[in-house]
């Protein structure tokens, strides 16, 4: 079978992008960043882990989908380590939301923020809002000197007012609590190639295959309060296969913060990624069995409300799956 001409052309162009030497830095995700002039790997030394460490991650799943209207659930999990011992595992409350046929207005009103009432509402906004609520609670409950790890970057959804993040950073600074966002798969680019991957290759040549390192990348153009944010890339363990984007408040010493995070990134299962975040990720996940349990609960509620079974089936049966089975 011959290769499609369009595939050949796309592959050739992608190869140029991945192996090119274009120096321009960008973030295709559209974040408001000003890139540093000197982006290169620098040695990183491991430091002691903070005595109080928190981690936050969010999850979501669609429980019922009638296409014109969907029922979505979100949750935000929190984990706490005190002196290296896990002392809290909080899966987070399930929050149900209806999206479609105008029902998302009620979900928007329930967010409790001054969001434009005409703003679009989707799963990203709903999950993001309650993740930041969980981060806020961690900051309030943390001991001075604590570290709060967040899955993803520290730039909130564009629909969330920037003052919210500014207030959060100022509160964390007042309480001497450091926030750090760790992104698993970054969109940062140099030319057309993933920046993190390029820095990994460069660091291997410059510093050695088992070196821990970090590199400054950018700062936020918008001032979120407390000086805004700084964006870096770091390899946090000698055995790590991957480096990660890490967001920190601009007022934080990146070497000290990354050195402390590296002490939490030596788990044998996934070296280089903070293990408190791995635990939070597992707690927040909405696997298929959970979706099925939620559907059974929803189906029982439909039954009590007098919704005929044929109405339920016609609304929520996935016709694609039926046709695939045929």
Pull the structure tokens for residue 68: 């014109």
- pLDDT surpasses 80 at 23: no
Query: In this prediction, what percent of the chain has a pLDDT beyond 70?
Result: 93
Residue 14 lies in a domain: no
Residue 31 lies in a domain: yes
Give per-residue pLDDT as tens, 109-133: 888 888 888 888 989 999 999 999 9
Strand pairing class (213-220; 229-235): antiparallel
Given this model, what pLDDT does residue 28 score?
A: 78
Residue 309 lies in a domain: yes
Average of per-residue pLDDT across 253-258: 97
Given this model, what pLDDT does residue 299 score?
A: 93
Residue 208 lies in a domain: yes
pLDDT band of residue 317 (cuts 50, 70, 90) is confident
Domain count, the chain: 2
Sign of the alpha-carbon torsion through 283, 284, 289, 294:
positive
Residue 218 lies in a domain: yes
Query: Is residue 317 located within the same domain as residue 198?
Result: no
Give per-residue pLDDT as tens, 263-292: 999 998 889 999 999 999 999 999 999 999
Query: Is residue 78 located within the same domain as residue 172?
Result: yes
Residue 16 lies in a domain: no
Query: Is residue 244 located within the same domain as residue 303?
Result: no
Pull the structure tokens for residue 34: 């000003």
Query: Is residue 166 located within the same domain as residue 238?
Result: yes
Query: Is residue 88 located within the same domain as residue 209?
Result: yes
Domain range for 52 = 25-286
Query: Is residue 88 located within the same domain as residue 128?
Result: yes
Residue 139 lies in a domain: yes
Instruction: Please state, rounded to an integer, the average pLDDT across all residues of the chain.
Output: 90
Q: How far apart are CA 298 and CA 200, in angstroms?
A: 47
- 3-state SS of 256-310 is HHHHHHHCCCCCCCCCCCCHHHHHHHHHHCCCHHHHHHHHHHHHHHHHHCCCCHH
Query: Is residue 301 located within the same domain as residue 259?
Result: no
SS3 content of the chain, % helix, strand, coil (to 5): 35, 25, 40
- pLDDT surpasses 60 at 218: yes
Given this model, what pLDDT does residue 97 score?
A: 93
Average of per-residue pLDDT across 167-189: 94
Q: Contact, 70 vs 82, CB < 8 A?
A: no
Please give the radius of gyration of the chain, using alpha carbons only, rounded to the nearest integer: 22
Q: Which of 4-13, 19-28, 38-47, 248-257 has the lowest mean pLDDT?
A: 19-28
- pLDDT surpasses 90 at 319: no
Beta strands, E only, the chain:
25-26, 33-35, 42-43, 52-65, 70-82, 85-90, 95-99, 147-151, 178-183, 189-190, 193-194, 213-220, 229-235, 244-249
Query: Is residue 192 located within the same domain as residue 102?
Result: yes
Pull the structure tokens for residue 59: 């999850």
Query: Is residue 100 located within the same domain as residue 29?
Result: yes
Residue 17 lies in a domain: no
Q: How far apart are CA 15 and CA 13, in angstroms?
A: 5
Query: Is residue 210 located within the same domain as residue 304?
Result: no
Query: Is residue 298 located within the same domain as residue 194?
Result: no
Greater pLDDT, 5 or 255: 255
Query: What is the domain-level CATH number for residue 191?
Result: 3.30.2170
219 Cα distance to chain centroid: 18
Given this model, what pLDDT does residue 258 score?
A: 98
| Residues in a beta bridge with 219 | 34, 230
Query: Is residue 241 located within the same domain as residue 317?
Result: no
């Amino acid at each position: 079978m011959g290769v499609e001409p369009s595939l050949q052309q796309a592959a050739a162009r992608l190869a140029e992008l991945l192996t090119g030497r274009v120096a321009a830095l960008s973030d295709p995700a559209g974040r408001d960043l000003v890139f540093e002039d000197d982006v290169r790997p620098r040695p990183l030394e491991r430091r002691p882990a903070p005595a109080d460490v928190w981690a936050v991650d969010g999850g979501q799943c669609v429980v019922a989908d009638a296409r014109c209207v969907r029922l979505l659930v979100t949750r935000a999990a929190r984990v706490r380590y005190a002196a290296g011992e896990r002392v809290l595992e909080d899966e987070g409350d399930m929050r149900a939301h209806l999206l479609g046929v105008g029902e998302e207005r009620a979900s928007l009103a329930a967010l409790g923020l001054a969001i434009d009432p005409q703003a679009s509402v989707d799963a990203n906004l709903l999950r993001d809002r309650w993740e930041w609520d969980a981060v806020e609670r961690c900051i309030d409950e943390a001991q001075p000197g604590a570290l709060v790890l967040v899955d993803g970057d520290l730039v909130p959804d564009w629909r969330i007012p920037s003052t919210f993040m500014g207030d959060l950073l100022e509160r964390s600074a007042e309480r001497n609590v450091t926030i750090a966002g760790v992104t698993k798969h970054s969109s940062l680019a140099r030319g057309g190639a993933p920046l993190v991957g390029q820095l990994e290759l460069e660091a291997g040549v410059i510093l050695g295959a088992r070196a821990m390192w970090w590199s400054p990348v950018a700062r936020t153009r918008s001032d979120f309060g407390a000086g805004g944010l700084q964006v870096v890339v770091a390899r946090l363990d000698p055995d790590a296969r991957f480096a990660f984007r890490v967001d920190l408040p601009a007022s934080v010493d990146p070497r000290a913060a990354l050195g402390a995070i590296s002490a939490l990134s030596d788990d044998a299962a996934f070296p280089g990624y903070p293990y408190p975040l791995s635990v939070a990720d597992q707690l927040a996940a909405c696997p298929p069995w959970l979706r099925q349990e939620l559907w059974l609960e929803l189906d029982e509620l439909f039954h009590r409300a007098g919704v005929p079974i044929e109405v339920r089936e016609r609304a929520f049966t996935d016709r694609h799956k039926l046709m695939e089975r045929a």
